[in-house]
Amino acid sequence: MKWNWQQKDWPAFRWDAAALAPLERQFLLHSGEFIGAFKHVESSDKDALKIELISNEALKTSEVEGEILNRSSVQASLIQQFGLGPRQARIPAAERGIAEMMVDLYRSFADPLEDEVMFRWHTMLTGDDRSVGVIGGYRTHHDPTQVVSGADDKRAVHFEAPPSDQIPTDMKAFIKWFNATSPGDKRALDPLVRAGIAHLYFVSIHLFEDGNGRIARALAEKALAQGIGQPTLIALTYTIQRKRKDYYAALERNNKDNEITDWLFYFANTILDAQATTMKRVDFYLSKAKFYERLRGQLNERQEKAVTRMFREGIGGFKGGMSADKYITITGTSRATATRDLQDLVAKGALTRTGERKHTRYHINLTD
């Protein structure tokens, strides 16, 4: 079996540009809608939304690779690095590293790509991992680098990367291609196509011992951000992780040939889904502002505290909804007072109610 990098036309990828053009138009349209909507988010909420969107991506890009990180630690590191809060000690290395990479991506998206950028990201991701032989540099071992699954006696090889001595040549070509196809260049590519190729091209070279997937997804986001002239803040990896099997299946279908229309269709549609997810989060913050404006001066201190805690749970709210018991825990009040407060919130249109008696639950009402 020959892999894509073993084909005579490597890395001259081919695709049906006309078929992808409608998706490119949708991406630019949705990007404009996001930029416009984000401007209307309350200034006090903009930083919170930015931290939420970036931390979700940081967590999910690690989760795609099977690494589960602590949300609070990632967010604490992001808050610290954006200068939005005091420095916190004892943030674990993995959480600190992915946060550093995401902030670096956010701040330097417009910069040309260089080896040093990827080496820096790799060091952030793996700096304390003693199992990685080369940190912040190309892999050098002579053993084949393979993506495999199954037990030793039934092992399936899903991909084999180029040998280590081929990486410098391949990466020189990759960096040249990435920078030459940026907006404003004669060879400029549309954002979705460029992001999709960047991801597939990079993981096919597989230049690092570990971290290739996370950096490939970061490069895709860099390409998208350059395409619209600002950080996208889209939920790309969140969307990929929800259907992780589809992601790996699409990569495997397209790692043996350099005609990659199928991969670009998959990746473009994933990006459009990610944009829709991000817009839901922005709409949530806009609705939150309208909620507080509508109920300004109508809530007592206990109700304010409980509602603030409910909004902190995000779009999904409390699992199972707010209950009287949760309200008592949050506010420290009596059951009788909790019942009166909750009934009053329903009467004011702040909450909706479902269920009866011990199954009664309350949810934020954003429809009025």
Q: What is the CATH number of the domain that holds 332?
A: 1.10.10.10
Domain boundary residue, one of 232, 262, 285: 285
- Clarify whether residues 232 and 305 are in a common domain: no
- Clarify whether residues 97 and 165 are in a common domain: yes
- Clarify whether residues 91 and 170 are in a common domain: yes
The dihedral through the CA atoms of 261, 262, 264, 269 has a sign that is positive
Strand residues in the chain grouped as ranges (E): 146-149, 156-160, 351-354, 361-364
Does residue 292 fall inside a structural domain? no
- Clarify whether residues 321 and 172 are in a common domain: no
Residues paired with residue 156 on neighbouring β-strands, in sequence order: 149
- Clarify whether residues 344 and 195 are in a common domain: no
Does residue 242 fall inside a structural domain? yes
Per residue in 110-119, pLDDT (tens digit) is 999 999 999 9
Q: What percent of the chain has pLDDT over 70?
A: 99
Return the pLDDT at 368.
64
Q: Which residues of 67-83 are buried (b: 16+ CB within 10 A; e: fewer)?
A: eebeeebbbbbbbbbbe
- Clarify whether residues 262 and 327 are in a common domain: no
Does residue 236 fall inside a structural domain? yes
Does residue 290 fall inside a structural domain? no
Q: CA 121 to CA 222: how far, in whole Å? A: 13
**With 80 as the cut, is the pLDDT of residue 275 above it?**
yes
**With 90 as the cut, is the pLDDT of residue 129 above it?**
no
Q: CA 302 to CA 332: how far, in whole Å? A: 9
Instruction: At 137, list the tokens.
Output: 């540099």
Does residue 293 fall inside a structural domain? no
Does residue 291 fall inside a structural domain? no
Q: What is the CATH number of the domain that holds 111?
A: 1.10.3290.10
Q: Which of 6-15, 63-72, 150-159, 185-194 has the lowest mean pLDDT?
A: 150-159
Task: Report the relative pairing of strands 156-160 and 361-364 from DSSP bridges.
Answer: unpaired
Of the candidates 64, 99, 107, 94, the one whose C-alpha atom is nearest the C-alpha of residue 78 is: 99
Q: Which of 4-13, 87-96, 221-230, 290-299 has the lowest mean pLDDT?
A: 87-96
- Clarify whether residues 259 and 307 are in a common domain: no
- Clarify whether residues 262 and 241 are in a common domain: yes
- The letter for the amino acid at 106 is Y
Q: CA 4 to CA 254: how far, in whole Å? A: 8
Q: CA 334 to CA 6: how far, in whole Å? A: 71
- Clarify whether residues 117 and 174 are in a common domain: yes
- Clarify whether residues 191 and 76 are in a common domain: yes
Domain boundary residue, one of 285, 308, 329: 285
Does residue 27 fall inside a structural domain? yes
Total domains in the chain come to 2
- Clarify whether residues 308 and 180 are in a common domain: no
Domain boundary residue, one of 253, 285, 317: 285
For residue 331, the enclosing domain spans 298-364
Per residue in 292-309, pLDDT (tens digit) is 999 999 999 999 999 999
- Clarify whether residues 278 and 350 are in a common domain: no
Number of neighbouring beta carbons within 10 Å of residue 9: 11
State the average pLDDT over residues 272-281. Answer: 95
Does residue 264 fall inside a structural domain? yes
**With 70 as the cut, is the pLDDT of residue 356 above it?**
yes
